[in-house]
Amino acid sequence: MSKVQRATIDALMRQAPFDGSLPPERMRRDFEAQMTSGPAPAGVSVTPSVLGGRPALTVEPEGGATTGTILYFHGGAWVFGSPATALQLTAALVRRTGARAVSVDYRLAPEHPFPAAVEDGLAAYRELLDQGVPAERIVLAGESAGGALGIVTLLAAREAALPMPAAAVAFSPGLDATLSGESMTTKHDADPLFSRAELATVFTHHLAGQDPAQPLLSPALHADPAGLPPLLLQAGSNEVLLDDSTRFAARAAEAGVDVRLDVTEDVPHVFQAFEGMLDEADAALDRAGRFITDALAGPLDGVA
């Protein structure tokens, strides 16, 4: 893998570090402009849709989907982002798996603080089931806050006695709203994007004064992962959120969950977004694609 590529990405991200004190409208506008300025993703079709009462984008491979549905949740610290900002990542998984994806525009804080996004995630999953999509043919996926939303949607679905999907994939998920991981300190200088202070500032919108020490806000500390489906957690070693993945993976393994912790050295938060620019991004997406393909290839419930 290329040290030059990693250094270039690090320098690029340090030119515009995250500022959690900006007004939400400004963060939304800037992030949308940054993430949608490139060409449309190749090899897929994109169609506006609705799922769980929320706007969505349905992304399908050219020639049509083969099997399965990826329920995708975008990142953005619960405050900004949209299916459009995550479109390149969503398309990358669609191309690698042949599955269709539905990326949901869940409600954002501060207008809709916790638990609004979780309610939307659960509603989207429930509607897929109601449409007749077998749980064994659904994989949840997302990046950053969206990766966390995938995990907590699993927890909410379990509590609602819904069948578990085939698997879930989370890229650099934020799984500890208390921001208490050691990596918040040990990775402070290595992380080109985030700091504990900036995350604490932006998280106030999502928390809206609520206690962060609860399972659906800090599952790395307080959730019981028992009964969850196979999980793939991918993170970079150069991010303050690293311990969110490592601690939740440890809890999941202790609870008997089939969990894979995939940490790539010397790369930042959601490095997978640099597909085509960073060898490690392409390789990680390849691994995620194989994980999803294998999960969706399993037999339907009750079918040998």
* Residues annotated as catalytic (active site), given as ranges: 144, 239, 269
Q: Which position has the token pair 């990766």?
A: 147
- Report CA 166 to chain centroid distance, whole Å: 16
- What are residue 166's phi and psi, to 5 degrees? -65, -35
DSSP category for residue 2? -
